[in-house]
């Protein structure tokens, strides 16, 4: 019996960037201020920069241990430190981010109080599994 399952033409699927998706979803919520979208855009930018660093890691000599430990007592990897700095830089400039908490840091970083516009706390692990690289 012949296969009658319709084949899927992936080339005709609509591709959408993360930024386009964020903006499209924001439009569905009339009360949205765009502040959360702005944070997601910063995270997107940071992940692109981290992905670039990971791809070039061997060329840029950023593989391996730094000789220090993170707060969990694990050996801190060079790429962990770089990824942490990238995320902190991308999110730290957003006026609505009040607190940044990273697995790499002992204490959360308070950037601004609520009265100063810091409405959001962002918690993250900058590069999970970096020791496997």
Confidence (pLDDT) at 90: 95
Confidence (pLDDT) at 8: 64
Nearest-CA neighbor of 77 among 34, 123, 130? 130
90-104, pLDDT tens digit by residue?
999 899 999 999 988
Is 114:71 a contact under the CB 8 Å cutoff?
no
State the alpha helices, DSSP H only, in 28-77.
35-55
Confidence (pLDDT) at 69: 83
d(CA 84, CA 102): 7
d(CA 94, CA 78): 25
d(CA 6, CA 9): 9
Across the chain, which has 133 residues, the per-10-residue mean pLDDT values are 63 79 92 92 94 93 87 85 95 94 92 94 88 66
Confidence (pLDDT) at 10: 59
pTM given for the model: 0.79
């Amino acid at each position: 019996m012949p296969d009658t399952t319709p084949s899927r033409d992936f080339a005709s699927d609509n591709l959408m960037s993360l930024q386009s998706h964020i903006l499209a979803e924001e439009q569905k919520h009339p009360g949205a201020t765009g502040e959360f979208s702005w944070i997601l855009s910063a995270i997107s930018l940071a992940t692109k920069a981290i992905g670039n660093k990971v791809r070039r890691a061997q060329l840029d000599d950023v593989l391996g241990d730094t000789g220090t430990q993170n707060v969990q007592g694990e050996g801190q990897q060079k790429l962990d430190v770089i990824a942490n700095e990238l995320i902190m830089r991308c999110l730290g400039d957003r006026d609505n981010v009040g607190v940044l908490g990273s697995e790499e840091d002992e204490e959360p970083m308070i950037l601004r109080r609520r009265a100063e516009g810091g409405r959001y706390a962002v918690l993250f692990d900058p590069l999970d599994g970096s020791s496997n690289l």
